[in-house]
A and B are shown apart, each in its own frame.
Chain A
Amino acid sequence: MGLVLWIAPLIAVALSQFAKKARTLHAISIGVSLVMLVLAGYCTHAVMVAGELTYTIFNGLFLIDSLSIIILDIVTVIYFLTSIYAIGYLQEEVRHGKISSEKLRLYYMLMYVFLFAMVVALTVSNIGIIWVAIEATTLASAFLVGFQNDHNSLEAAWKYIIICSVGIAITLVGIIFLHLSSVDVIQSGDALKWNVLLSEAKHLDEPVLRFAFIFILIGFGTKAGLAPMHTWLPDAHSQAPSPISALLSGVLLNSAMYAIIRCLTIVNKNSGDSQFAGRLMIGFGLLSVLTAAIFILSQKDYKRLLAYSSIEHMGIIALAMGLFTPLSIFAGLLHMMNHSLTKSMLFLASGNILQKYNAREISKIQGLLKTLPITGTVFLLGLLAISGTPPFSIFGSEVNVFISVFNADQAGLGIVLILLLAIIFAGIAATLFRVFFGSADAGQVQPGETNLPGALAICVLLIAIVVTGLYLPDGLKDLFIAARQIVLGG
């Protein structure tokens, strides 16, 4: 049943081959995303009951536990909302003759491949396959990034594919050494399986493992957008069509981070403490937040700004994971969810803005609240949420991160972190708040929402982040706690 998760996107690819009209394409995409959502729900249920879900075929290659199911749920939910949004978005694009219906099919097929790769990455037990899948996501999304096929998007795509491929290649080195560290312990049958590696962690060859972790961290870190490997991210996220940006920021970064967390778990269990790996994670995390702060302070392009804020939040997550205390891990996982929902909401909203004003420069946008009442409001609240303002969900997880930092007697680190976040807020306020006020020159912009499905989608996301700001369903909380247990090493 869970295996349908792998099959469904492939079927969708096949179907969209034969689809004639745009409407059918949209229908297929909604259908498949709905199927994925249902399946994810099923798996979640199964995992909640059994703790993990696996099948005997491919000797247990398919394996989901609470950690992966959380990310998987995020993926499917955001993918679903994005595909709702995409309908309106793409229709608008087609209406303006920006893309032909042929390209529409290509878009959807690439989307399915992207989805497939991502789901595979989250549901397999073999780190090697995870690597393959994540590389595949790069390849699938490279064209999506360059979808507009103008100078900038092409440049972005090129940088994206080059840097990410290199990064992922480096990961491969790490995985080789990971394998090397386990050859004499684990028989070749379940080599590189993270569950086996985890259970055997104590017997792995420590120096090799550490060596491996360096490369894995840098490699997957490149994909997760940790500074200084983040450089592809602002370009790709700002140039990609907004639904893609939403997926990249809300989903792809998480699955890369997921892979890192898996390996982190193994390394820490192997060495018994989080000294070595923790330091690296915290270092990269803090560096990312710092970079984001520098870049946000004087940002001229709102999509880039959002991209940098993704870097910031990935940094926070990495930092939380690096601390490796129960609280910090819980907070980090929570932050992954909150950030994904909020950021994808923002990117979707920015897509509406881009289509309306057809300008990326902040300076060219005015009177947003008047022009796009719904999108504008959501965008404004989203900005507040992303910069950690109560009562939105990100505040909750950020505060928990802070607390765990101070709890670990890292007062200095905590102070730096808090101040950097304050600076980032100041930056966002200073650069971006001006777009909401005043009134757009009636010449080229006429008020009114164009993308109604999109408006619906972002509203759903807004409600989600407001609710999760103060409340978590018990089931979800149990999942997070189980996941925390897993990260802590079972």
Chain B
Amino acid sequence: MEHYLDLLSVLMLLSAIMLVSHKRIRSYIRTFRLQAILIAVIAGFMGFESLMTEGSIDILVICVIIIALKVVIIPMLLHKTFANVEDVVEKDFYLNIPILILMSCVLVVFSYFTLSGISGLASGHVNLQVVNAFSVILIGFFFMISRKKAIGQIIGYLVMENGIFVTAIFSTHGMPFIVDIGIFIDMITAVLIMGVMVVQINEKFDSININNLRNLRG
């Protein structure tokens, strides 16, 4: 079943790149949800496997949490927060879409190059999956930089988190349980706080264009 995981990891990557290519906030959120589902599936696989082998249900629990959080709650929150600007097409990028996609491919290559030096993840399969997952992290980060609106940052952050989670689950079959829980709590609060702030920014600056936040310089 390893190749299923390979497939899923590749799909993850694709979803990330897809995200980069989008322009509408709604489609951002949709893509994010899609990615969340993929993660849930991966987690399900892994959890099932570990249930069979070690009889631990940690990962399954986490899988459930993911479904609850990333597939349901967070997208809902985002929808609520950005209801008024959902259909606005984000126009001004620092670079245009094709170049962004190209650069994200470069990032994939880069992460392959850098990770391949590490003997720790020797066996090819793990390596491939980790590389994909890792590229998702970088792409998420890159996405944050490439989008000017606040939503861009939030989504990018979430994608990073996804990538990290998948990297964790691929490379070490998950962190210690308590850590994972903590991570999830942090993430949800982070997103909450960001959301609240976006609302505040929106009413203070009457726009969520982060580029307007440039009073503090030097």
- A residues contacting B by CB (< 8 A) are 126, 128-129, 131-132, 135-136, 139, 142-143, 146, 149-152, 154-159, 161-162, 165-166, 169, 172-173, 175-177, 179-181, 183, 188, 191-192, 205, 207-208, 211, 234-235, 238-239, 295, 299-300, 304
Q: How many residues of chain B get a CB closer than 8 Å to chain A's CBs?
A: 42
Smallest CB-CB separation from B182: which chain A residue?
A132
Name the prevailing secondary structure of the B interface residues.
Answer: helix
Chain B residues closer than 8 Å to A169, beta-carbon distance: 157, 160-161, 164
Question: Which residues, 35 to 90 on B, are CB-close (under 8 Å) to A?
Answer: none
Most B CB within 10 A of own CB, among A131, A152, A166, A175 = A166
The one of B157, B175, B201 in contact with A158, judged by C-beta atoms closer than 8 angstroms, is B201
Q: A154-B204, A166-B141, A207-B119 are in contact. Are A192 and B176 (CB under 8 A)?
A: yes
B127 at the interface (CB under 8 A from A): no
Are B186 and A146 closer than 8 Å at their CB atoms? no
Listed by A's residue number, 27 A-B pairs whose Cβ atoms lie within 8 Å are A128-B175, A128-B176, A128-B182, A135-B190, A139-B193, A150-B204, A151-B205, A152-B216, A154-B200, A154-B201, A154-B204, A155-B215, A155-B216, A156-B216, A159-B213, A161-B193, A161-B197, A162-B153, A166-B157, A176-B168, A176-B171, A176-B175, A179-B168, A180-B171, A192-B175, A300-B218, A304-B218
Chain B residues closer than 8 Å to A176, beta-carbon distance: 164, 167-168, 171-172, 175
B106 at the interface (CB under 8 A from A): no
Complex Cα–Cα for A150 and B117 (A)? 48
Chain B residues closer than 8 Å to A126, beta-carbon distance: 176, 178-179
Question: Which residues, 175 to 215 on B, are CB-close (under 8 Å) to A?
Answer: 175-176, 178-179, 182-183, 185-186, 189-190, 193-194, 197, 200-201, 204-205, 210, 213-215
The one of A146, A172, A191, A192 in contact with B183, judged by C-beta atoms closer than 8 angstroms, is A172
Q: A166-B157, A205-B120 are in contact. Are A149 and B200 (CB under 8 A)?
A: yes
The one of B134, B144, B175, B200 in contact with A166, judged by C-beta atoms closer than 8 angstroms, is B144
Complex Cα–Cα for A47 and B137 (A)? 41
Extra inter-chain contacts (12) besides given A152-B215, A176-B171, A180-B120, CB under 8 Å:
A135-B186, A151-B205, A154-B200, A155-B214, A158-B210, A175-B175, A179-B168, A191-B175, A208-B118, A208-B121, A234-B216, A299-B218
Smallest CB-CB separation from B168: which chain A residue?
A176
Are B197 and A157 closer than 8 Å at their CB atoms? yes
Complex Cα–Cα for A429 and B145 (A)? 38
The one of A131, A150, A207, A299 in contact with B120, judged by C-beta atoms closer than 8 angstroms, is A207
Most B CB within 10 A of own CB, among A162, A207, A300 = A162
Chain A residues closer than 8 Å to B197, beta-carbon distance: 142, 146, 154, 157-158, 161
Chain A residues closer than 8 Å to B171, beta-carbon distance: 176-177, 180
User: Shortest CB–CB separation between residue A233 and chain B, in angstroms?
Assistant: 11
Complex Cα–Cα for A469 and B215 (A)? 39
The one of A136, A156, A188 in contact with B186, judged by C-beta atoms closer than 8 angstroms, is A136
Complex Cα–Cα for A177 and B167 (A)? 9
Chain B residues closer than 8 Å to A235, beta-carbon distance: 216
Chain A residues closer than 8 Å to B194, beta-carbon distance: 161-162, 165
The one of B153, B168, B179, B215 in contact with A132, judged by C-beta atoms closer than 8 angstroms, is B179
Complex Cα–Cα for A142 and B197 (A)? 10
Complex Cα–Cα for A35 and B66 (A)? 39
Complex Cα–Cα for A300 and B214 (A)? 17
Name the prevailing secondary structure of the A interface residues.
Answer: helix
Complex Cα–Cα for A166 and B163 (A)? 13
Chain B residues closer than 8 Å to A162, beta-carbon distance: 144, 153, 157, 194
Chain A residues closer than 8 Å to B190, beta-carbon distance: 135, 139, 161, 165
Chain A residues closer than 8 Å to B213, beta-carbon distance: 155, 158-159
Are B216 and A180 closer than 8 Å at their CB atoms? no
Chain B residues closer than 8 Å to A183, beta-carbon distance: 172
Most B CB within 10 A of own CB, among A132, A142, A234 = A132
Most A CB within 10 A of own CB, among B178, B182, B186, B197 = B186
Are B204 and A211 closer than 8 Å at their CB atoms? no
User: Shortest CB–CB separation between residue A235 and chain B, in angstroms?
Assistant: 4
Chain B residues closer than 8 Å to A161, beta-carbon distance: 190, 193-194, 197
Complex Cα–Cα for A233 and B153 (A)? 19
Most B CB within 10 A of own CB, among A152, A155, A300 = A155
Q: A149-B200, A205-B120 are in contact. Are A192 and B179 (CB under 8 A)?
A: yes
User: Shortest CB–CB separation between residue A82 and chain B, in angstroms?
Assistant: 23
Complex Cα–Cα for A135 and B207 (A)? 28
Complex Cα–Cα for A47 and B158 (A)? 41
Chain B residues closer than 8 Å to A207, beta-carbon distance: 117-120
Chain A residues closer than 8 Å to B193, beta-carbon distance: 139, 142-143, 161
Smallest CB-CB separation from A190: which chain B residue?
B176
Smallest CB-CB separation from A192: which chain B residue?
B176
Complex Cα–Cα for A128 and B178 (A)? 9
The 8 closest A-B pairs by CB, nearest first: A128-B179, A208-B120, A132-B182, A155-B213, A235-B216, A135-B186, A205-B120, A176-B168
Complex Cα–Cα for A131 and B181 (A)? 12
The contact string, 1 if C-beta is below 8 Å from chain A, for chain B 111-154, is 00000011111000000000000100100010010000010010
Are B201 and A295 closer than 8 Å at their CB atoms? no
Complex Cα–Cα for A377 and B109 (A)? 58
Smallest CB-CB separation from A150: which chain B residue?
B204
Complex Cα–Cα for A232 and B200 (A)? 19
Chain A residues closer than 8 Å to B205, beta-carbon distance: 151
Most A CB within 10 A of own CB, among B183, B205, B210 = B183
Smallest CB-CB separation from B120: which chain A residue?
A208
Chain B residues closer than 8 Å to A179, beta-carbon distance: 168, 172, 175-176
Most B CB within 10 A of own CB, among A128, A180, A192 = A180
Are A205 and B176 closer than 8 Å at their CB atoms? no
Chain B residues closer than 8 Å to A159, beta-carbon distance: 213, 216
Chain B residues closer than 8 Å to A234, beta-carbon distance: 216
Complex Cα–Cα for A162 and B118 (A)? 30
Q: A139-B186, A176-B168, A177-B171 are in contact. Are A188 and B137 (CB under 8 A)?
A: no
Most A CB within 10 A of own CB, among B164, B172, B179, B210 = B179
Complex Cα–Cα for A191 and B173 (A)? 13
Chain B residues closer than 8 Å to A146, beta-carbon distance: 197, 200
Complex Cα–Cα for A27 and B172 (A)? 48
Complex Cα–Cα for A188 and B59 (A)? 14
User: Shortest CB–CB separation between residue A370 and chain B, in angstroms?
Assistant: 30
Chain A residues closer than 8 Å to B137, beta-carbon distance: 173
